[in-house]
Structure 1
Amino acid sequence: MPLLQNPPSRARWLRAAVLVAASTGLVAAALPAPTPLGIGDPLFPHLGNPGYDVLAYELDLTYPGENDRPLAAVTRIEALATEDLGRINLDFTRGKVSAVTVDDLPATYASSGEDLVVTPAVPVETGERVEITVVHTSDPTGPADTGGWVRTGDGLAMANQADAAHRVFPSNDHPSDKADFTFHITVPNGLTAVANGLPTGRENHGATTTWSYRSRHPMATELAQISIGASSVVHRTGPGGLPVRDVVRTADRDLLEPWLRKTPGQLEWMERQVGPYPFETYGVVIADADTGFELETQTLSLFERRLFTEPAYPEWYVDSIMVHELAHQWFGDSVTPRTWSDLWLNEGHASWYEALYAEEKAGKSLERRMRAAYTASDAWRADGGPPAAPEPPSSGHKISIFRPVVYDGSALVLYALRQEIGTDAFRRLERRWVADHRDATATTADFTALASEIAGKDLTAFFRAWLYAEKTPPMPGHPDWRSGPVDTVRSAPKPA
C-alpha cells in the first residue's frame, strides 16, 4: 500500500471511526459515573487532573461592559495525552458550559464537584495530541474571598492563587502543569484590556475592540492575569531594553507615576542579585480594589491601589513590597513549585529579597528582622506547620496556606543556609537555581540537592531540621537566639 501524501488529521480519523462504529452497530463499553479527580497534591488533593499535559491555552473572552454580569468565553486547550483517556477531567466551576468539542467532534460533558468531565466521541490514546474547546461563561460575581475574578472600581482583574484559575476558565489548575497562553479579550470601546505577555494585535469591531496577547514562556494557571478597565498603559524601558508596561486607572496616571518609575531600578537591583530577568516584559497592574494582598501574576504583578495611596505605609515599606512581587518572577513564576507544599521556595525567597532591599536601600537591618522571625518561629510552626510541610488550608479559606511561616519563617531558613555555607556559596546557589530550573517546576528535594552540590557537603540533615521539624533548630553563628513560647506570637495570614 503506498504511503499517504497528505495524512488525514486526527479529527478526520475520529470522524471515520464514529461513522464506522455507527454503521456496524458497535457500542462502547459503559463508563462509570463522572467523578472529580485530582493529582493528589497534599494541600489541594482534588486540584489538577491525571492523564494529560497541557501544552497551550487560548482564551477568548467578551466583557459585557459591567463587572456584575458573566463574560462570554471560549477556552481552547491543546494537550498531550500521557495515558489512554476515555474521559478528560478539567478543573472548572462558576460558569455555564454550552458546548464542548474534542478535536472538532462534539463531546458529552457533565459537572462533578469542581470538575468538568468531558467524554470524547472516541477515546484518546497515550501519546496523542488533543484539542479541547469549551464554550462557556465566566462569572465574576462569586464570593470575593474565593479568588478568580476581582471586581474593581472600573472593571476586572484576576487573582487566581492558589486554586482559583478554574473559577475563570477550564484548565488543569495546578502549578505542576505549566503551558503557553494566548489571550483575546473583547471589550467596549473606551476600555483597555491587558494580559500576561506581549501584545500581538488589536482589532476594532465598531462598538468593541479585541485586544490580543501571548506569553513567550510557559506559565502556571494561578499566574494568569487579565485587567479590564478605564486604564492607561504606561510604557518605559528596563535593563537591556526590557519593555516595561504598567496598567493604572487613567485618572491615577499622574498620582502613581512616582511609584511606577521605580520599577526599572528595582529590576536592575534584582538582576544584580540573581541574574537576568527571566521573561519578555514586566510591569504592575494597580487595581482599584481591596483584596488584602498583592500577587505575582507573571509579567504583570497585581497591586491594590491603597498600597500606594495610604499615608500610613512608609515609602521604604511600599518599595520592599514591590520588590517582593518582582522577586517572585524568578522564584515562583519562572521556577514554579511542583506541589503547593513547596510554596516556601516562592515566599521565602520573595521575603528574603524584600528584606535585603529594605536593608540596602532604607537601612532596615536584615539581622534584626531575622532575629525577630527566629523568636516567632516555633509559634509559627505550631500555628501552621513547618515551612515545607504546611498544614492544609482551613475549610472555605483556601489562601490560609499563606501563613507567616512561609514568609519570614521561610526567609529564616535561607538566612540559616547562608550562615551555614557562606555568602559566596549562597549567591552562587541562588543564581544556579533560577538558571537551572528556568521555565520549569522544581521541588524542595531539588533545592536541597543543588545546595549540597554547591556547598560541597551533604545538607540533607540541615534542610530536614529547618524545613520539617516541629521546633526551630539552633541558628548557625547565633547560639544565643531563642524562639519564644508558642502562645506569645500569633499572626494573621498575609497572602502575597
Structure 2
Amino acid sequence: MDPHPLRRRRAPAAAVALLLALPLTGCTAGGDGDGGGGTRGGGRAAPGAAGLRDPYFPRLGNGGYDVRHYALTLDYDPRTGRLSGSADITARATQALSAFNVDLTGLTVQGALVDGEAAAVSRSGTEVTVRPGAAVKDGATFRTVIRYSGVPVTITDAEGAEEGWLRTADGAVALGEPTGSTAWFPGNHHPSDKATYTVAVTVPEGLEAVSNGELTARTSRGGRTTFTWRSTEPMASYLATLAIGRYRTTTSRTGSGLPVHTAARGNPALLGEIPEVLEWETGKFGPYPFSSTGAIVDPLVDVQYALETQNRPFFDKSTFDLPTLVHEMAHQWYGNSVSPKSWRDMWLNESFATYAEWLYAEDFGGTPVQESFDEAFADEENWAFPPAKPPTAEDLSGPPVYGRGAMVLHKVRQAVGDDTFFAILRGWPAKYRHANASTEDFTRYVEAESGKDLSGLWDTWLYGEGRPTGPSA
C-alpha cells in the first residue's frame, strides 16, 4: 500500500444481507449420500468454519478447505454497472465437509455445483453456505462452480477509504485490501489461503480489461471482447485486481527479458522507470518472484492510495510518483510473494516496503538511511501503537505500521551488521517464497541467521508501548 500521509485506515465493512435463489440439492462425487459419511478414518463430516478467527476480521476466510485455483468467468456492462460471473473453484478439503462457506459481499448467487452436482445454497450477510448432497472426503480435491450476478458494491471504511468495485465513466477498477475482493468474486478471502488464478472477462469492444499475471487470449465477437489472464504463482485474494476502461496498454521487456505489462490513461513518463527500479530492487532483495511486472495507472480513480496488486501495482490520480513506485514494487517480494499469515502481520509488508524507500533515497537521492530513521523517530504519529499490535482494524495501515516498522528493520541492521542484514533482506523472501509468514516466523528467522538473541530489541521496538528512551534508542 502507498506510504503517503493519506494512508488507508481500515475497518470491516457492514455486511449486506441479500435474498438468494431457492436452494438446490445434489451429491458430490465420492460421497455416500447421507451428508455425513464417506470420510477418512471413520470420522463424521461437519461444516467448515465460517471464519478463520483473524484478530481483526474474524469472519473473513473459511475453514475446512484450501483453494488451489480460481477460474473466474466474468461479463461486465459499464453502462448498467452489472457484473455476471461464474467462479470455478478447485480446492482440497482439510476435513470431511458436510458444508462449507465462501465470502461474498453484495452480489446475488443463482446456484452452485459441487463436482458437477447441484448443491444447496444459503446466505447470512457476507457468508454464503454451500451444502453438497453428500460429504466431501477429508483430503479430497473438489470443484465448486458458483453462478452470481448484480451490481458490485464499493466498500467504504470508517475513515472514508474505498475498495471493492470502483466504477469509472467507462469501466471499473477492483481493489481488494483487506476485504474488497469479496465484492467481485466468491472465495476464501483470507490472505493465508493463496491460490492461482484464471480471469476471463468480457467487455464492450474498444475497452481494455487488465488483471494479474499474463494475457493468454484476446478474442472479439459481436461487439464484445474477452480478455483471459492467467496467474501461475500463488496469490492472496486481496492482491487480485481487474481494471476495465479505455487504457493505453503496452508490453515491453526488462534488460533480463522479464515482460512489463502496463495499462494507463495517457502515457505517464514514470512508466519507463519500472525496469530500472526492478533491477535495483532485484539487486537488494534477490530474484524477482513473478513471471511479469508492470503497473496500472488510472487518474479517474481517486482513492488516495496506491496498492501492491500482484505483478501489476495500481496507482490512482495522486500516487504515481517515484517513491511510491519503489514502495509498491518492493511489496512484490514483501507482502505478495511472502504474504501475511494474518492481518496482524501487516507490518511485515509495510516495513520492508518503507525501508526500500529509505534505501533508494540513500542510493539515488543522497539521503542516508539514518537520516530517514531520525525523521521517522521524530514523528509523533509513529508512536501511537506498536507495529506488531495495531489496536483495531482501522489501525492496520496506520503510521506505526510503516514508519516504526521500518525503524524496527533499521535497529535489526544495527544489531546484526550490514552483511548479515542484507543477507536477511534476500534470504527472508527466498525462504518463504510464495508462502505465508508471521511476525514470529520473522523474529525466529532473524535470530537464527544472525546467531543473536534479539529479544530486547523486539520487546522495545516491535512490541513496546511509546517511544524508546535511553541507550536502547
Displacement after TM superposition at 1:403 (Å): 0.2
Q: Which amino acid aligns with 1:186?
A: T
User: Which of residues 297, 305, 316 in structure 1 aligns to 2:317?
Assistant: 305
Partner secondary structure for residue 453 of structure 1 = helix
Aligned CA distance change for structure 1 residues 126 and 374 (closer, same or farther; 3 Å): same
Partners in 2 of 1:137 and 1:147 — Cα distance?
19
The equivalent of 2:94 in structure 1 is 82
- Tell me the SS of whatever aligns to 2:379: helix
1:95 has 2:99 as partner: no
What is the CA–CA distance in structure 2 between the aligned matches of 1:138 and 1:88, rounded to whole Å?
23
What residue identity is the alignment partner of 2:76? Y
1:369 Cα shift? 2.2
Partner of 2:222: 206
Match of 2:77 among 52, 61, 64: 64
- Higher deviation after alignment, 205-214 or 343-352: 205-214
Distance, in Å, in 2 between the alignment partners of 1:474 and 1:428 is 29
Cα RMSD, aligned residues only: 2.2
| CA contact 2:28–2:135 (8 Å) conserved in 1 | no
Indicate conservation of the 8 Å contact 2:155/2:165, yes or no.
Answer: no
Which of these residues, 450, 458, 463, is aligned with residue 463 of structure 1? Answer: 458
Aligned to 1:6: none
Contact 2:73 2:86 in 1 (8 A): yes
Contact 1:381–1:471 (8 Å) recurs in 2: yes
Q: When the two structures are aligned, how many residues end up with a matched partner?
A: 433
Question: Would you say 1:352 and 2:352 are equivalent positions?
Answer: no
Q: Contact (CA 8 Å) 2:154, 2:166: kept in 1 or not?
A: no
Q: Deviations over 1:301-349 (max 9, x none)?
A: 00013334xxxxxxxxx21110000000000000001011111110000
Say which SS state the counterpart of residue 413 (structure 1) adopts. helix
User: Is the contact between residue 49 and residue 100 of structure 2 (CA under 8 Å) also seen in structure 1?
Assistant: no
Asked if 1:48 is matched to 2:61, the reply is: yes
Residue matched to 2:163: 147
**Deviation of residue 286 (structure 1)?**
0.4
Structure 1 residues 171-190: aligned runs within 5 Å = 171-190=187-206
TM (norm. structure 1) is 0.83
Match of 1:270 in 2: 281
State the alpha-carbon separation in 2 of the partners of residues 432 and 463 from structure 1. Answer: 20
In the TM superposition, what is the alpha-carbon distance from 1:143 to its structure 2 partner? 4.5
Matched, 1:428 2:423: yes
Give CA deviations for 1:45-94 in whole Å, capped at 9, x if unaligned: 1111111111110111101133x522100011111000111111111111
Query: Structure 2 residue aligned with 1:157, among 159, 173, 177?
Result: 173
Instruction: State the partner residue of 1:240.
Output: 256
Give the Cα–Cα distance (whole angstroms) in 2 for the partners of residues 414 and 467 of structure 1: 10
Aligned counterpart, 1:416: 411
- Match for 2:209 among 193, 203, 225? 193
Distance 2:228 2:379 in 1: 47
Q: Which runs of 5+ in 2 are unaligned?
A: 1-26, 36-44
Q: Which residue of 1 aligns with 2:396?
A: 401
- Once the two structures are TM-superposed, the CA of residue 138 in structure 1 deviates from its matched residue by 5.1
> Given that residues 75 and 169 in structure 1 are in contact (C-alpha distance below 8 angstroms), is that contact kept between their aligned partners in structure 2?
yes
Q: Distance in 1 between matches of 2:364 and 2:205?
A: 42
For residues 126 and 462 of structure 1, what CA distance do their matches in structure 2 show?
43
Q: Which runs of 5+ in 1 are unaligned?
A: 1-9, 22-30, 309-317, 395-399, 482-496
Amino acid of the structure 2 residue aligned with 1:188: P
Kindly report which structure 2 residues correspond to 1:18-33, keeping only aligned pairs within 5 A, or say none: 18=33
Change (3 A) 1:458 1:99: same
Structure with the higher strand share, 1 or 2: 2
What are the superposed Cα offsets for residues 234-292 of structure 1, whole Å, 9 maximum, x if unpaired? 1221141000011012xx13xx1x21101000001101111111100010100121011
Equivalent-residue separation in structure 2 for 1:274 and 1:128 (angstroms): 37
**Who wins on radius of gyration, i.e. which is larger?**
1
More off after superposition, 210-219 vs 351-360: 351-360
TM-score, normalised with respect to structure 2: 0.87
**Who is 1:386 aligned against?**
386
Q: Does the C-alpha gap of structure 1 residues 126 and 172 become closer, same or farther in structure 2, counting only changes over 3 Å? A: same
Q: Specify the SS of the correspondent of 1:276.
A: coil
Distance 1:369 1:475, change over 3 A: farther
Q: Which amino acid in 2 is paired with 1:205? A: R
